Amino acid sequence: MERGLRRFEGKTAVVTGGATGVGFATARRLAEEGASVVIAGRRSDVGREAEETLKKAGLAAVFVQADVADEAQVRFLMDEAVRAFGRIDVLVNNAAAFTPGRFMETSWQDWRKVFDVILNGAYFCTKEAARRMIEQGGGGRIVNVSSINSTRALEESSHYNAAKGALDQLTRNTSLELIDHGIRVNSVALGFIDTPMSIVDGVKEHETDWFRDIYVARKKIPLQRTGQPEEAAGAIAFLASEDASYMCGAVVAVDGGLSITF
């Protein structure tokens, strides 16, 4: 991060799934740039730890336990954000869920869980945050965390890919309607990022032979490496800032160049 950059001074940001991985890196980045940050998540242990980590660094942060798939809990989350810091200026819809499974073997419960968190969670959070932004007089920034999988097919990921594709469309449609209130909505489409979600069935996919062969040695990823959560956070912070003032409804790939290869 550029030394002294304070693009979010006096602003409040809500980051869902903000206790680990990309979510925590984003919460920390926004806080380092002056924002008061509300970390939202289902697990109180890791949430409290994330809050304390930021506070020990002298940053303004609070953890609110909430399940984004539950509309009442989302309403509580946004009320707590306003109660803690007085307003909401930035929302980052980062919460996600994924359990690998082939389409014909995926249960309705597993399918619905992924959609409830990724798509319905973004719907609830966007609606509740936007309502408060409008009540404040308009203005605000919403960044959805999507995936390059939203436009691709991958075995054992039909529910995840479909949910992310729907999230991209939600980004476009809400950007069109909310811009009337000065609220800009954009999205990042992430590729391989080194987070806990990269561990599938106990195996870290980035450390497998197939990943090293296809994505690194053969340059399927032109940068020949995985991304770090802080790199994703940098793109998210950009979209949430005034540096992205002429961007509306964009889905920006942050994937080391993976989406340009075939």
Q: Which residues are catalytic?
A: 160
Strands 199-200 and 203-204, sheet pairing: antiparallel
Amino acid occupying residue 116? D
234/5 Cα distance (integer angstroms): 12
Number of H helices, E strands in the chain: 8, 9
Q: Which residues pair with 55 in a beta bridge?
A: none
Amino acid occupying residue 194? D
Secondary structure class of 260 (helix, strand, coil): helix
Give me the long-range contacts of 78-82 (CB less than 8 A, separation at least 24). 78/14, 78/125, 78/128, 78/129, 78/131, 78/132, 80/38, 81/12, 81/14, 81/38, 82/132
Q: What are phi and psi of 106, to 5 degrees?
A: -80, 125
173/167 Cα distance (integer angstroms): 10
Let me know: does 163 contact 120? Beta carbons within 8 Å: no
